[in-house]
Amino acid sequence: MPLVVTEGAAGSSVFNMMEDVSLVPWFNGAVGFNRDDVADAIVKCCAGYAMGTAGNTAILDALAQRWGGGYLFYEHLPAEDGMFSPAMVADILNVVQGVQAADNLAGVLADWVASPPPVEPNRAIINYFACGDGLIPLPKHLAHRPSTAAPPVLASLMVVHQIEAATCALIDYGMKEEDTVASTLYYEGMLTHVAAVVGEDEGPRLRVVNEHLKRAFAAYVTLCLDTDY
């Protein structure tokens, strides 16, 4: 999840003295693999795909497409600063390892479906909101649309409240229900920032982190509503 705090001093106000470093731009490069890391890993793990070759680029592009460019831990970063999950990088490298560039690499990449985590992801968040209908509107929106407006409170919650959000204990701190849900999903690592585009400024927006989770959102909402949509 994106929440990372600096060490605080001992005492009852320890949470208030911490800083959420996941909301500062330089933290973005500290977690996961950036595009250069992935390109280098392809060279080391997959013979025949030297840096800058069409095959190397195709593998990286496939990863970026399935992950929407990767995680962005700050709202004004461009897509090239996206960070990829090490598990997802290992997954695609395992698929293409041994596939020669002369073979049907494009077909292999087109058929690649990112393996879901071995344990169903984020079950706690589903259970937390499942007692009511609070979770349904946002996943339903994101199943159809590429993004949603980021809650204005995302960067202003005190660290203690962010920890509660990340552990599904955030109920209400003067936030609208949909903002509470969006903030919790963000701190659970299920949503990430939309990349900034030069010349466009819609304001901060969040998107689902990968295609597997987007499908899970759609399936969850369909199951809950017992209808196609």
Are the C-beta atoms of residues 78 and 196 closer than 8 Å to each other? yes
**Same domain for 158 and 102:** no
At residue 110, the pLDDT reads 83
Question: Where a domain ends, among 80, 111, 142?
Answer: 111
**Same domain for 208 and 144:** yes
Query: What's the number of domains the chain is made of?
Result: 2
Kind plus residue range of the DSSP H or E element containing 206: strand 205-208
Q: Read off the CATH number of the domain in which 149 is found.
A: 1.10.10
**Same domain for 160 and 74:** no
At residue 39, the pLDDT reads 92
Is residue 10 situated within a structural domain? no
Between CA 207 and CA 202 the distance in angstroms is: 14
**Same domain for 88 and 37:** yes
User: What is the full per-residue pLDDT of the chain (229 aa) written as tens digits?
Assistant: 566 666 555 554 555 566 677 777 788 888 788 899 999 999 998 888 889 888 899 999 888 887 777 888 888 888 888 888 888 888 888 888 877 665 688 888 888 876 655 444 455 555 555 555 667 788 888 888 888 888 877 766 776 776 666 665 655 555 666 777 788 788 777 888 988 877 677 778 999 888 777 877 777 777 766 654 3
Find, among 29, 38, 78, 80, the residue nearest to 59 by Cα. Answer: 38
Cβ-defined contacts of 80-86 (< 8 Å, 24+): 80/35, 81/28, 81/29, 81/34, 81/195, 82/34, 82/35, 82/195, 83/28, 83/29, 83/31, 83/32, 83/33, 83/34, 84/32, 84/33, 84/34, 84/35, 84/37, 84/38, 85/32, 85/33, 86/32, 86/33
Are the C-beta atoms of residues 92 and 62 closer than 8 Å to each other? yes
Domain of 182 in residue numbering reads as 119-225
**Same domain for 145 and 203:** yes
On the CB side of 83, how many CA atoms lie within 13 Å of its CA?
A: 21
Is residue 62 situated within a structural domain? yes
**Same domain for 162 and 75:** no
**Same domain for 162 and 130:** yes
Are the C-beta atoms of residues 114 and 89 closer than 8 Å to each other? no
At residue 206, the pLDDT reads 92
Task: Identify residue 204 by its one-letter amino acid code.
Answer: P
Between CA 81 and CA 223 the distance in angstroms is: 36
